[in-house]
Each structure stands twice: as structure tokens, then as C-alpha cells.
């Protein structure tokens, strides 16, 4: 049974004088148990609304959501749910430890293991004793994020919803976050991440759904953008003499790529697609150039996101469509979205 099933979900908000803003215009999505899915899209695309409907905060106009075969507000589902909100609105008057204790009790977890569970989670997210005993109101943004993540992880949830989980987190925290997600995913938890940190989404998610104007397109991160032109930064070993630009241009031309110049310590090459990248790297190695690293100037998701968003009508900075007076679907997605990869078999939009 799929972990999460969303069928033809429509959600609109009243906007006065009978007009309504359509936030979700018929969203369908299936997520398998153990899958980590990223939700990306421009501001106002409907990502938060989708998460709100999945968590039972918002009531859809029509459509169906089933979590593990149950309604979203089923208490059994809630007992297995963890949520990290984007706005870190924790009870500021409590200490970090008291907040975890409180949510541990609310979650109905056994009182005998409360102290040890909370202590373990505080350690897991990297909050020391002094920080744990401090009032939440005195926490920095990064500490709040860690504490919020800890409360979301209480009871090893089977359904974890993370809204901008690494916003304001330092690099050490991001490493901790990745490790925790990896462990949770391995344990079979279904994870939904709503984030603008595309590189991180690409790194931790099995699949990404791109939300635009209340509709979604699913894509496989490993294939996303494989047919896209991009610029590669090729880092060469400093132990070898640097080749002249003419020679690099010639090697690139032989691999159907273009040498774009130096951006020390990297050489920049433009390639047409994945196979172009493969040919370029092979040509460089064949020419005896000591390549130590190749990185794209933009991540796959970043590229798709930028280009996908650029085709959206610029009006109101990607605000959902406004229709009046009755609810009607948002404008259809432009044809150019056909470049997105189809969802993998067994789950997708």
C-alpha cells in the first residue's frame, strides 16, 4: 500500500467579492513507503498549501488524501507523524528539554523512556546540556532549527514533513541533518521535504515534485535535466603545467563541447547534455590532462527550476491564478514543461 496518496486535490482561498485564489488545481501524487520526496517550486506555487492539506491544517475543496490508507486527521496517523515547520514557532517560555518532554508526552510515547529519548534526540541534533536547559526564547535561529527537528523526530515517525529544514542551519548542522534523514529513510520512513535549497533536495531526495501554479510535475532527480545544456567547471591538477586556451578549445571542439575560458582554478566548458559531458571528460583524460574534479555550475534541479520558472507568466511573481466568482483550475502548465522527466513507475503525478 502506498504511504501517501493524493488524488485530484483542489484547494482555493477566498479573496473577497466571491473571487477565489486557486492554490492547488487538481494535484495527484503517490508516495511509496520509505521514499524521500522533495517539493520544490517558486514562491506562491502551492507547496505550503499541499503540506498543509497533508497535515490536516487545511481542508481541501475537493479531492482525496489517504495516509497509510487513513484520513489525514486519523489519530493513528498523527501518532506516527513528525513535522518541522518553516516558521519556528515553538513555545518560547519553555526550555528546549521541557519542549521535547512536552511533545513526547503529547505524542503518547511511553513516559518511562521520556528522559532518555529526549536526551538522545538532543544529542542527535547536536544540542548540548547547557543549550537544552536554556529557554527557547533565547535560542539562535540555528538552534531553533535543531530543536524543531528533534521534536519532529520524536518517536521515530513513519511520516515526516519538513518545511525548509536547513534554513539557517550551519554546515555542521546540515551534515547532521543529512545523516538523520539517511537513517530515517533507511528505517522505512516516508519523508516529504519542502525546500528552496535545491542542491540539498537533490542530494537527499529519491524523487522531486516541481509545483507550479497549483499543479505538480514529478521528476526523478538522477535523470532530471539529463538532456540539458550546461556549463561544467573542470578542476585540473596544479601539479601539471596548464595547457594554453587554444589547446583546450581544440580538445573541447573534438568532443562537441566549447571551451568558455578560465575561472581559476577551473576551466569552464559548455556541453549540450549528459553524453556531451561524458565525451568531454573522456577527451580531456585522453589528452593527458589531470582532471581532479568536474562540477556543474548549476545543479540539475537549480537549472530546471530556473528555466521552468522563467516560462511562468511574470505577473504577480508566480502568485496563484485568481478566478471569479467560482473556483476553476489555474492556467494550464506551458508546453515547455514536457521536458520534465516522467515520474518513475509505481508513483508519481
Partner 1 sequence: MNPTLIRAFLLQRFTSPMRLGLTSLFTFFPLVGVVFSGELALLGGIAGPLAVLFAAGAIGQDVSSGTLQLLLVRPVTRPGYVLNRWLGAVFAALGVVLMTILCAVLVLFLRSTPPDALALSRLVLDSVTTIAGHAAVMLMLSSLVGGVGDVALYAASMFVAQMLIVLATWQRWSWLMRVCNEVQGVLGAKLSWAWLGTGMAPSAFDIVSWASTITLALAVAIAVMNRKELSYASG
Q: What is the binding site for partner 1 (CB under 8 A)?
A: 13, 23, 48-49, 52, 55-59, 75-76, 78-79, 81-83, 85, 87, 89-91, 93-94, 102-103, 105-108, 151
85/343 with CB nearer partner 1:
85
Q: How far is the CB of 105 from partner 1 (least distance, A)?
A: 4
Closer residue to partner 1, CB minimum distance, 148 or 234: 148
Report whether 60 contacts 24 (CB < 8 A): yes
* Nearer to partner 1 among residue 108 and residue 334 (C-beta): 108
- Residues with Cβ within 8 Å of residue 195, at least 6 apart in sequence: 38, 39, 40, 162, 163, 164, 165, 166, 167, 201
Which residue in the block uniquely carries the three cell numbers 516560462? 311
Nearer to partner 1, 113 or 238 (CB): 113
Q: How far apart are CA 72 and CA 270, in angstroms?
A: 47
- Cβ proximity to partner 1: between 58 and 132 the closer is 58
| Residue 111: CA count within 13 A, CB half-sphere | 0
Q: How far is the CB of 144 from partner 1 (least distance, A)?
A: 12
Q: Which is nearer to partner 1, 90 or 198 (CB)?
A: 90
* For partner 1, the closer CB: 103 or 279: 103
CB 269 within 8 Å of CB 229: no
Least distance CB 77 / partner 1 (angstroms)? 9
Q: How far is CA 259 from the centre of its chain?
A: 33
In the complex, least distance from residue 56 CB atom to partner 1, rounded to whole angstroms: 7
> What is the per-residue DSSP string for 52-118?
HHHHTSS--SEEEEEETTB-TT-HHHHHTEEEE-SS----TTSBHHHHHHHHHHHTT--GGGHHHHH
The single residue listed with the C-alpha cell 544540542 is 127
Give min distance, CB of 207 to partner 1, in A: 24
- Which cell is 302 given? 537549480
Query: Cβ 174 to partner 1, closest distance in Å?
Result: 23
| ∠ Cα 289 290 296 (to 5°) | 95
Shortest Cβ 66–partner 1 spacing (Å): 18
Amino acid at each position: 500500500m502506498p504511504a501517501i496518496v493524493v488524488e485530484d486535490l483542489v484547494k482555493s482561498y477566498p479573496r473577497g467579492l466571491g473571487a477565489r485564489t486557486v492554490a492547488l488545481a487538481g494535484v495527484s501524487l503517490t508516495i511509496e513507503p520509505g521514499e524521500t520526496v522533495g517539493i520544490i517550486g517558486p514562491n506562491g506555487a502551492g507547496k505550503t498549501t499541499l503540506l498543509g492539506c497533508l497535515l490536516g491544517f487545511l481542508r481541501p475543496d475537493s479531492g482525496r488524501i489517504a495516509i497509510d490508507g487513513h484520513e489525514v486527521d486519523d489519530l493513528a496517523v498523527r501518532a506516527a507523524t513528525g513535522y518541522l515547520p518553516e516558521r519556528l514557532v515553538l513555545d518560547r517560555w519553555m526550555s528546549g528539554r521541557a519542549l521535547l518532554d512536552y511533545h513526547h508526552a503529547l505524542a503518547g510515547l511511553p513516559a518511562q523512556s521520556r528522559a532518555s529519548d529526549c536526551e538522545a534526540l538532543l544529542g542527535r541534533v547536536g544540542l548540548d546540556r547547557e543549550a537544552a536547559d536554556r529557554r527557547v526564547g533565547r535560542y539562535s535561529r540555528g538552534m531553533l532549527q535543531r530543536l524543531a527537528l528533534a521534536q519532529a523526530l520524536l518517536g521515530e515517525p513513519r511520516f515526516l514533513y519538513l518545511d525548509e529544514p536547513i534554513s539557517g542551519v550551519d554546515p555542521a548542522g546540515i551534515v547532521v541533518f543529512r545523516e538523520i534523514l539517511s537513517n530515517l529513510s533507511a528505517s522505512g520512513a516516508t519523508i516529504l521535504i519542502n525546500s528552496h535549497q535545491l542542491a540539498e533536495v537533490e542530494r537527499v531526495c529519491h524523487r522531486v515534485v516541481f509545483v507550479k501554479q497549483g499543479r505538480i510535475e514529478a521528476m526523478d532527480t538522477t535523470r532530471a535535466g539529463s538532456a540539458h545544456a550546461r556549463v561544467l567547471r573542470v578542476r585540473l591538477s596544479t601539479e601539471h603545467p596548464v595547457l594554453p586556451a587554444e589547446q583546450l578549445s581544440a580538445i573541447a571542439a573534438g568532443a562537441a563541447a566549447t571551451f568558455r575560458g578560465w575561472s581559476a582554478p577551473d576551466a569552464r566548458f559548455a556541453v549540450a547534455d549528459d553524453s556531451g559531458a561524458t565525451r568531454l571528460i573522456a577527451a580531456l583524460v585522453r589528452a593527458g590532462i589531470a582532471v581532479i574534479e568536474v562540477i556543474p555550475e548549476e545543479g540539475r534541479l537549480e537549472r530546471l527550476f530556473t528555466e521552468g520558472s522563467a516560462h511562468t507568466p511574470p505577473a504577480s511573481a508566480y502568485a496563484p491564478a485568481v478566478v471569479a466568482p467560482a473556483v476553476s483550475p489555474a492556467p494550464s502548465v506551458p508546453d515547455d514543461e514536457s521536458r520534465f522527466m516522467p515520474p518513475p513507475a509505481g508513483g508519481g503525478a
